Structure 1
């Protein structure tokens, strides 16, 4: 956990300095890029976070003109969120910063084989946790 926290903080510092975004905001933008027209509830489920917290995060992105909410034709109580053109540009730039900084941090310590092994192990663990709905907040 400490290693993840240190990586997260270092990445966050770079993203904030270069793009004015928190790591979580970049993650939301990446999600909306990869899943256009998602509901806030979909994002909350994916990130194992509360709907209220995700909605506030989306509000901040919307205020910056990076995402837009559209009425959900299947459910009037929710809206669908999509990236704006500015959001698409920012997430592409931030993704480059994220990948470069992560590579700099990891490659100075781990070999490519170690990175592949750790990545595969974490992907397997994440899939099992998601499949079994472990760590999903209530409400």
Structure 2
């Protein structure tokens, strides 16, 4: 039987090393940290979103997300506009500079993933790993929503 504690350790250490390697490469090649790159990817995938949506997706606080968005906005990569459906929030969209950065950095991001994952695991194992991690993430997100509901 698999030692789940060892699995946890491997998963966390891999995530840390993978994140740091990709972050280092994106900073060196494109002057963007991985966290900001992930924000750009998510905003682009949605077309527009609220800070709250971004915070939920990234599993971080709204305050931390708002500060990170402030930095993206100051760098000219993201634009905030009034939300026509809710005056208390704004909508985030990528600027042309944000879109250009995302387009330039994506091949670098994908190259690092190919190096760290694709070059180690056969394609069918990558597919299986993706399915399993998706299942675990969905469970964690359901449990996280339940826990938040119990304490609010």
Q: Secondary structure at the match of 2:144?
A: coil
Gaps of 5+ in 2: 1-11
Runs (4 or more) in structure 1 with deviation over 4 Å come to 134-139
Gaps of 5+ in 1: none
Q: How does 1:57-68 map to 2 (within 5 A)?
A: 57-68=68-79
Q: How does 1:1-139 map to 2 (within 5 A)?
A: 1-133=12-144
Q: Distance in 1 between matches of 2:66 and 2:36?
A: 12
Q: Distance in 1 between matches of 2:42 and 2:142?
A: 19
Q: Distance in 2 between matches of 1:136 and 1:16?
A: 35
Q: Distance in 1 between matches of 2:77 and 2:55?
A: 18
| Structure ranking higher in helix proportion | 2
Structure with the bigger RCO (C-alpha within 8 Å, sep 6+) is 1
Of the two, which has the highest radius of gyration?
2
What do you get for the CA RMSD once the two structures are aligned? Answer: 1.9
Q: Distance in 1 between matches of 2:80 and 2:147?
A: 25
Q: Secondary structure at the match of 2:32?
A: coil
With 101-110 and 48-57 compared, the bigger mean Cα shift is at: 101-110
Number of matched residues? 139
Q: Distance in 1 between matches of 2:37 and 2:86?
A: 27
TM-score by length of 2: 0.84
Q: Secondary structure at the match of 1:77?
A: coil
Alpha carbons of 1:22 and 1:135: their partners in 2 closer, same or farther (altered >3 Å)? Answer: farther
Alpha carbons of 1:53 and 1:25: their partners in 2 closer, same or farther (altered >3 Å)? Answer: same
Deviation at 1:119, TM superposition (A): 1.2
With 48-57 and 129-138 compared, the bigger mean Cα shift is at: 129-138
CA contact (8 A) 1:29 1:87 kept: yes
Deviation at 1:37, TM superposition (A): 2.2
With 106-115 and 78-87 compared, the bigger mean Cα shift is at: 106-115
Q: Secondary structure at the match of 1:133?
A: helix
